[in-house]
Structure 1
Amino acid sequence: MIKYLLFCWYVILFLSCCEEERPGYATRELIFPDYRNVTIPVDIAPLSFYVNLPEVNENVQVLLCTRTKQLNRRGKEVRFSSLEWRELVTSDSVMNVYIQKKTDHLWNCVDSFKIYISSDPIDPYLSYRLIEPGYEVWGNMGIYQRCLANYEEDAIFENSRVKEICVNCHATNQGNPEEYIFHQRPKPAGTILVKDGVVSKLNTDYSEKIKTLVYPSWHSSGKYIAFSVNKTVQAVHSQHRNRIEVMDLHSDIVILDVQKNILLTSSLLSSADAYETFPCFSSDGKKLYFCSAPAISLPDSFNYVRYHLCSLDVDLEKGTLGSKIDTVIRVDTLNASISFPKISPSGRFMLYTRHAYGNFSIWHRDADLCMFDLHNQREVDTSILNSEETESYHSWSSEGHWIVFSSRRMTGLFTCLYLAHIDSSGHAGKPFLLPQKRSDSYFFQYKSYNVPEFMKGPVCTSEKDLEAVMER
């Protein structure tokens, strides 16, 4: 049913754009994707794009120039081979792009812009889930990996291999492709752990209260993983700016000792008077950040739940948790709520999602990315990252100079992935859409990108090995 509705949506999109030369380009932007004045890593795949001019292909050309190299493309669909793109981006730190059209046998420049090329390293792979944007049920889905230097995408695991399961909440240990986890739901439920090439399935039925683990964060030692434990319900709005509400009727945080498969708990992380969720270990492993909101009556007061950003000191080698919760960002004066805290590898910047209320920001149109400088105790301007639609889940590259995040800015329905440069002072560059071989690929993609994570290399565990453990 979902596929049928999505097919109808694409038919409508095609017909609504029938006056354009190609479907999907009913946009006021001169080029799609919008790569004007973005900062890119030197190791990114070629930036294919389309020039949105009414002229025929023969009367459109694009020049890309550095001080020592030049490429010329005739026509509206602009593509490059890996070799010529590599030669271009390694020749200089700035690329000048000129869009030209032919009028009366003369070439006239209609627009020009720059592409900035950074030598700051970026992790070579992304992992993400691809899922149809439904609310109640799921169809085919999977967790995939993408090489950023080219367009190659491979499945880490597709749910078609095990009947009627959902795979979600994947996470690596600091981008290590040999240490990662993901959950499978509903039955046979469990958490799949891959560590040092060994695949295992954790029995997460720890107690009457703790039967499933949800949002994860790896400790840098690889010996511990913090999880939230959530009792979640959802409702679909009949009249509201947001399509759906997801609420936690109850949520706590626990820390799993991976080797012993036992939980470390604290009353400070499992208070009956608060909802604790979205754990995030600091880079040095000495603090656990998390979101916490005072417990109120739900679901009737759903739009009054607001989560603060908090932290707790931890010493996991000694098995001790702190005795006092610190509130890092109070949202009382912000009239907002915080979700998805992610700390930079340097430990200085906390990237998070801010929205009006609640914690499930992926369906909140007002959700924006924000950043807090933990060293100087001040907010950092991130307005360049945001749009009028949802910006939500995000992660850092291991060197701390690049982020990836999900956004619905293209259609308001599907989430796509955007990358952005972050300099040493926390200044963000203009985000750019994850490059594809064809510039129109996203208009024929009926799945949303979900939970993007950087990885330092490819996952090599076979689907067959994962499947064998998941069916137990």
Structure 2
Amino acid sequence: MRKPFAVSMFLLVVAAGVCAGLVYVSNRPEPVGSFGELDRRPRIEPDYTDAVIPPNIAPLNFVVHEPGTAYGVRVSSSQGDPIQVLSRKPAIQIDGKPWHALLGQNGGRELRIDVYVKGKDGQWNHFQPVTNRIAEENIDRFLVYRKMHPTHLRVKGEIAIHFRDLTGFGESTLLSGRSVEHGCINCHSFAANRSDKMLMGVRSPRYGVGTLLVDGDSVHEIGAKFGYTCWHPSGRMAVYSVNNLPMFYHSSRNEVRDTVDLDSLLACYFNDSKKIGVEPNLARKEHLENWPAWSGDGKHLYFCSAPMLWPRDTPNPPLLYDQVKYSLMRVSYDLDADRWGALETVLSAKDTGRSIAMPRCSPDGRWLSFCMCDYGFFPTWQADSDLYLMDLAARDDAGRPAYRRLGINSDTSESWQTWSSNSRWLVFSSKRLHGVLTRLFISYVDRDGTVHKPIVLPQRDPAFYESCLLTFNTPELVTERPAATGEVLARTFRKRHELAVQMPITMATPKAGQSSGESAWQAQGQRE
């Protein structure tokens, strides 16, 4: 038998209660006395084990999935006071103040979690410790993401953009679809992890289609629909996709939803002049162009491109929809001269045999993360979608940028990524918890490109994900709290087309993203 670990803490609690005239200490479980040793780790959920965690992350609350009548947890590291929690229930919630004090003193060191469980026989047992490593680098404090109902049918459930202070559990609504007559709040984009430059697409059955622009203290509504968008790091311009993306449905697979990029191009929005332009190499009639992503220094634009395999009057879905595979392209750009370079193929679908989507560049310019799946442009609905990492500073034997499939992939879909401003953290969405709903996961990326085991976004209630039926997607890390309020954003959008812009060219894609038979606000469906 081992000696007690919580006697001193318990005596302090009792003494404080007696001095204050309180008598509620009997509601707490008795402190851990002598205990036996078990030669295995406890089963805990979420799986907060063997990961690297941000030193500024909220407490990693968890549920102990071991039968017992009382539970004791001790959280410790090399420096500082350990944290001790006693509970009659298996749900363990850790106070934020001592948690942050402990993590703040132990950057780069191991975080140890000891779990004790009291059996029905009154005997305490100690499991082998759970360990994680505390990183030295913080993650950006705020995470912006979309929450929505997962159904493929149009429902009156809320679709909203939220943001979370990652140092705690407070979640705020940036813009709700209810504020624009049950509209769809679409993809959002920030310039260089700054919250003072934001673009957000909105579709509403009453107010139509447009894009909200947050520019410092000003909020405007642009009279054009921006699809998948990426700001230039300078914040002076952004590149966005213009797509015709109808949905269709399968009858014999777990994920019945699917979508096809019938026609698309990339357009440029210039923030100073409030004008839109198109570079011919980004709008080739015989190709589909999608998923723009700027390099960290803003000197190259990466994007995905595939040949169009059907005529422009094709039915939905086209016969060859599952044969479309996107390659990773890039083109150089001089912002001051507004001059584009020659088109380059970075990674060809002919070489990979798969389709590339959702590229994102790390701000330090070293890494490019992306998804690959068997076909198409939308990996969230493809169970075979995996995450890859390309080293932009290295070349393989054929002279191409070196890339690899990441070890953090699961058997389900991985998609939607965002990098922290210091290039040390990658947040992505995955269906790995239950195979149906996307959740957000945080991984540490070493300087050598090793991507460590992810942790799911922590919640105050450690059983939160067992009952939450909403899906989380489109994560974006920002360093500061978004300045615009939902009230201002909604009111600006309801005014309609404050900044009118015109596309300088025509294409097969209907204006404002409409596809045949769909109203403007329904086009593109509810993208996870």
The normalised TM-score by structure 2 is 0.79
Matched, 1:432 2:451: no
Q: Which amino acid aligns with 2:419?
A: W
Aligned residue number for residue 64 of structure 1: 75
Corresponding residue number in structure 2 for 1:308: 327
SS in 2 for 1:285: coil
| Alpha-carbon distance, 1:469 to partner | 1.2
Looking at structure 2, the residues matched to 203 and 381 of structure 1 have their Cα atoms a distance apart, in angstroms, of 41
| Alignment partner of 1:244 is 2:257 | yes
* Structure with the larger strand share: 1
1:358 equivalent in alignment to 2:376: yes
Alignment of 1:292-303 (within 5 A): 292-297=305-310, 299-303=318-322
1:224 equivalenced with 2:237 (yes/no): yes
Paired position in structure 1 for 2:210? 190
1:63-101 residue CA offsets vs partner (Å, 9 max, x unmatched): 222124322323421111111112221232211222333
Map of 2:506 onto structure 1: none
Output the amino acid matched with 1:374: L
Supply the AA of the counterpart residue of 2:410: S
Q: Pick the aligned partner of 2:93 from 59, 79, 98.
A: 79
Aligned to 1:13: none
What secondary structure sits across from 2:260 in the alignment? strand
Show the counterpart of 1:134: 151
| Aligned AA (2:296) | S
The one-letter amino acid of 1:234's match is M
Give the number of equivalent residue pairs.
435
Contact 1:302 1:358 in 2 (8 A): yes
248-257 or 130-139, which moves further after superposition?
A: 130-139
Shift in Å, 1:61: 2.5
1:259 deviates by 2.2
Task: Output one character per residue of 1:153-184: Cα deviation in whole Å (capped at 9) or x when no partner.
Answer: 11111121121311111111112111101011
* % same residue: 29
- Return the match for 2:170 from 142, 152, 162: 152
Once the two structures are TM-superposed, the CA of residue 119 in structure 1 deviates from its matched residue by: 1.5
2:100 is paired with a residue whose SS is helix
Equivalents in 2 of 1:70, 1:302: separation in Å? 57
Q: Is the 8 A contact 1:100 1:111 kept in 2?
A: no
Tell me the amino acid that sits aligned with residue 199 of structure 2: I
User: Is the 1:277–1:292 contact (alpha carbons within 8 Å) kept by the matching residues of 2?
Assistant: yes
Match of 1:33 in 2: 46
**Partner deviation per Cα, 1:430-458 (whole Å, 9 max, x = no partner):** 10011111101122322111200001111
Q: Deviations over 1:188-216 (max 9, x none)?
A: 21111010110111122xxxxxxx32010
Q: In the superposition, relative to structure 1, how do residues 333 and 121 fare at CA in structure 2: closer, same or farther (>3 Å)?
A: same
* 8 A contact 1:382–1:428 mirrored in 2: no
Residue number in structure 1 paired with 2:477? 454
Cross-structure match for 2:20: none
The reply on whether 1:94 has 2:113 as its aligned counterpart is: no
For residue 229 of structure 2, what is the amino acid of its counterpart?
P
Q: Secondary structure at the match of 2:349?
A: coil
User: Runs of 4 or more off by more than 6 Å in structure 1?
Assistant: none
Unaligned runs of 5+ in 2: 1-40, 311-316, 396-400, 496-528
Point out the more displaced range, 423-432 or 183-192.
Answer: 183-192
1:264 aligns with 2:281: no
Give the AA of the match of 2:332. Answer: D
Q: Distance in 1 between matches of 2:264 and 2:210?
A: 18
Deviation at 1:460?
2.0
Supply the distance in 2 between the matched residues of 1:406 and 1:226 (Cα, whole angstroms).
Answer: 23
> Which residue does the alignment assign to 1:203?
223
Which residue of 370, 375, 388 corresponds with 1:370? 388
**Paired residue secondary structure (1:471):** helix
Match of 2:11 in 1: none
- State the match for 1:116 in structure 2: 133
Cα drift, residue 105 of structure 1: 5.2
Secondary structure, in 3 states, of the residue corresponding to 1:332?
helix
- Segment of structure 1 superposing worse, 93-102 or 246-255: 93-102
The equivalent position to 1:326 in structure 2, one of 338, 341, 344, is 344
Q: Which amino acid aligns with 1:84?
A: P
1:393 is aligned to 2:379: no
Deviates more, 1:134-143 or 1:336-345: 134-143
Distance verdict in 2 for CA 1:29–1:268, change over 3 Å: farther
Q: Which amino acid aligns with 1:400?
A: S
Amino acid at match of 2:339: T
When normalised by structure 1's length, the TM-score is: 0.88
Asked whether 1:418 is paired with 2:431, we answer no
Distance 1:379 1:354 in 2: 15
Report deviation, 1:242: 3.3
Q: Distance in 1 between matches of 2:282 and 2:209?
A: 24
Is 1:254 aligned to 2:274, yes or no? Answer: no
Residue of structure 1 equivalent to 2:500: none
Which deviates the most, 60-69 or 77-86? 60-69
Deviates more, 1:376-385 or 1:28-37: 376-385
Residues 379/432 of structure 1: CA separation in 2 closer, same or farther (3 Å cut): farther
Q: Is the 8 A contact 1:188 1:470 kept in 2?
A: no
User: Aligned AA for 1:163?
Assistant: E
Matched-pair contact (CA < 8 Å) for 2:42–2:128: no
Distance 1:173 1:86, change over 3 A: same
Q: Which amino acid aligns with 1:99?
A: V
Give the corresponding residue for 2:199: 181
Larger Rg: 1 or 2?
A: 2
CA–CA distance in 1 between the matches of 2:299 and 2:84? 53
Give SS of 1:88's match. helix
Aligned runs of 1:3-14 on 2, under 5 Å? Answer: none
